[in-house]
Structure 1
Amino acid sequence: MGAGPAGLTAGIYVGREGLKTKILEKGVIGGNANNAPLVANFPGFQSITGIEFLKKTAEQAKMYTNIVEYEEITKIHKTDGKLLLTTNKGEYSAKALIICSGTTYRKLGIKDEGKFIGRGISYCSICDGMFFKGKEVLVVGGGNSAAEHALHLKDLGCNVKIVHRRNTLRAQKYLQDKIHAKGIPIIWNSIVTELKGNNLLKSVVIRNTKTEIDKEVEVAGIYIAVGETPNSELAASMGVDLDELGYITTDKNQRTDIPQVYVAGDVTGGVQQIVVACGEGAVAAVNAYQNLP
């Protein structure tokens, strides 16, 4: 369930054991990892875009398993020791399930945010960054994703600034060093409170949380990178245990509290990195195979 780094890796490992497997993906292969402008910390690749990394991984996975895009699981229940999966296209019976449902980008939660998605608001600089070359762009957030988007947009020739609600970034030090080296301005202790424009975004209102002073800034686009929400609703509906943040809890073998149900990737929380997702996918697959009923 899910064709991101965790799901694809799990498919490789289970498929190599000769089992009949299928990866169901409600969207396109790759998930959020497709949006990574640059992957520079995965062993074996000095640097590679998220899209290219996922393309290579999917090509390998297809050697061992069938990957189905745009098929969403809507219900899961156990009966007679098997798992019955209902999707928007049909039904499946399985001896084991590996959930790799990932996360969804968190929104700012302000008026007209949905209206401007794709019309100035974006979550993927590698997808549409070129549209903003030479234009004013804001990146909202302070973690690794925000830093990576800002650096990528700068390299594309955008006039980019970072808006962060705190006075320090959460991004890794090497990313912060690159931001400073490239002279990317950071608007500290600030949040975006209002979006303005007609069909396209024209400006935003930024509020300083210390002084409570608002300032309107003309922009062509903003990239939102303020975290993710785990896609764990379906797992919760079948009784899988979640932590206080909604992430699925597992043991060291990626097992949930329901037999034959395993989990891997960002939906487990913790260190949300591609290399970790791949590792968890492998662990889940090996244990699913070894413990088949």
Structure 2
Amino acid sequence: MSKKAQAEFIRWFGPLLNALRDLGDSGRPREVSARIARNLNLPDDLLDQTLKSGGSKFHNQVAWARQYLVWEGLLDSSKHGTWTLTEKGRSAHLDEREARAIFLKWVSIHAENRKQKRDAQENGEELAAHGATPETSTEEETLDLLSTLRSISPTGFEKVCRELLRESGFENVEVTGGSADGGIDGYGTLEINPFVSFKVLFQCKRYAKGNLVSRAQVGDFRNSMLGRAEKGIIITTSGFSNAAVQEANREGAPQVELVDGDKLVEMFQKVELGVIKRTVYDVDPTYFEKFKD
């Protein structure tokens, strides 16, 4: 990260802890980011900023903040997709000065780890060393997958989304296609149990990075699905504006599920569709830090 980006994500340390307390000491990543935005009344122009991959810059910075708080022992290091306060974290209230001290502490620790790795390599030794955070270590892989998806034709993207939905448990998935699809690219059936199932319509947006799906597009899609299905999904290789997210979850209207580029990558990885799984082990400095004294 650049020095400017580092300075930016430090400011979410305290708000992240506060957001988790508001959520009952734990929450899903996007849920936590949304609570921070709500608590601080963050403007749409900040929330709509994107990364090179097309993902949310704000959520990525919150994820960086979370990683530092994990290293500091304020958050649980669970890998199950839920962020949870530790006993230490429940009582922690960080101001900007304290947040920066945590940041500098772990920058120093990782710098020492990298130095040890270089020294070991120069001596011909093999040493697994801690690198970047999980968010940055997968950034290149995320970008590669999204770039691949953006390189295929719009029709091809609809078809690959069909395969993804099938692999994710949907049945009778079909792509409608054509200019007369009424804003619907396809449909499928999701079976909850042997007694309950419902029809789902989906729309695919093969967008370049930074080209966010708008509030109007979400509204148009919802209008197209009325009377035709109980559920709707919009899948994009980019992201959604904050206004679009609010529209998708508007009270009194059928909810529209939103799948942005980051979630799309997660879905491909979960079902291992079009990707090859590999395992890499890094040293966890937080484990060894307590043995240095």
Instruction: Give TM-score, length-normalised by structure 2.
Output: 0.25
- The structure where strand makes up a greater share of residues is 1
Instruction: Give TM-score, length-normalised by structure 1.
Output: 0.25
- The structure where helix makes up a greater share of residues is 2
Highest RCO, 1 vs 2 (Cα 8 Å, sep ≥ 6) = 1
